[in-house]
Amino acid sequence: MHHSPVTGDGHRVVDPSQPLDPRAIGLWTTQARLATAAATAIPGAVAVALLVTGHRTAALVFALGALARGASGAAFSVLWPPRYHARYRWDVLPEGVVVAHGWLWRTVQVVPHSRIQAVDSSSGPMERRAGLASVHLRTASREGSPHIPGLAADVARALAARIAEAAGNEDDAT
């Protein structure tokens, strides 16, 4: 049986329905591949240096480590981005903003508009190149403030402004 999350004032909130931009899958795949390359290059370089200096056994250990990192990173970069994208949803409802993500460990965050202190949209160099941005909700919660990654840049800016207006923080949307 599926239960919808409940806000502090007792309102039932349906699971959010708004998906992320599909271009986020390609961005996350590229980021995972770059991280894998970096994590593989270090033990690979050490293996080469050890081999050149005659330490064959140690070189083999580092080479196997590089191979294991490369294989696991390659699998991760293929499997994780589409699954993460498929399970990440958001909505702006009259009660507040709902962000849900996760597959094994599902997290649903309901942030009442009254708790939102500031809203930011941001994008790093790789996001900008892909035409994407993220929206960050700032709250005083010790549980952490949710964010919505992988949105088209224009959607992220409009969403930040819409949430800020609903929260009464029109001057805080960036």
Cα–Cα dist 83/112, whole Å: 28
* DSSP structural state of residue 6: B
pLDDT in tens, 121-156: 999 999 999 999 999 999 887 777 899 999 999 999
Q: Which residues does the chain have with pLDDT short of 70?
A: 1-13, 169-174
User: How far does Cα 85 stand from its chain's mean position?
Assistant: 9
Written out in words, the top-level CATH class of the domain with range 89-172 is mainly beta
Return the pLDDT at 9.
Answer: 54
What lies within 8 Å, CB to CB, of 32 at 6+ separation is 73, 76, 77, 80, 81
Sheet holding 107-112, edge to edge: 18-19, 89-92, 96-101, 107-112
Query: pTM here?
Result: 0.81
Domain positions in the chain are: 25-84, 89-172
